[in-house]
Amino acid sequence: MGIEHLNIRITGKVQGVYYRASARQKAEALGVKGFVRNQPDGSVYIEAEAEPEALAQFVAWCHAGPDRAQVLKVEATPAPLQNFVGFEVRR
């Protein structure tokens, strides 16, 4: 296997509930690289790169999110590698 890249869009009550900070903690724990940011439409957008198993665990976490989140939908789409070096919260 190798490193894979996913573009992930999470909708629901996912802003103002520490989703981005929690996603960064989870990503760092799993060795996932990339970034997370809030979108103007109220969703959260993540680009994530890791080994397939770590990505699968991260996407599974995205379906739940932090305690105060209410996730309605998670869309994960494969995309070309960007070779991120860490995981950051973007504004």
**Residue 30 contacts residue 54 (beta carbons within 8 Å):** yes
Among 38, 68, 90, 91, the one annotated catalytic: 38
- Establish whether 68 is a catalytic residue: no
* Residues forming beta bridges with residue 49, ordered by sequence position: 5, 33
Residue 7 known to be catalytic: no
Catalytic, out of 20, 24, 37, 91: 20
Query: Backbone phi, then psi, for 16, in 5-degree steps?
Result: 80, 15
The residue with tokens 């979108």 is 39
Active site residues: 20, 38
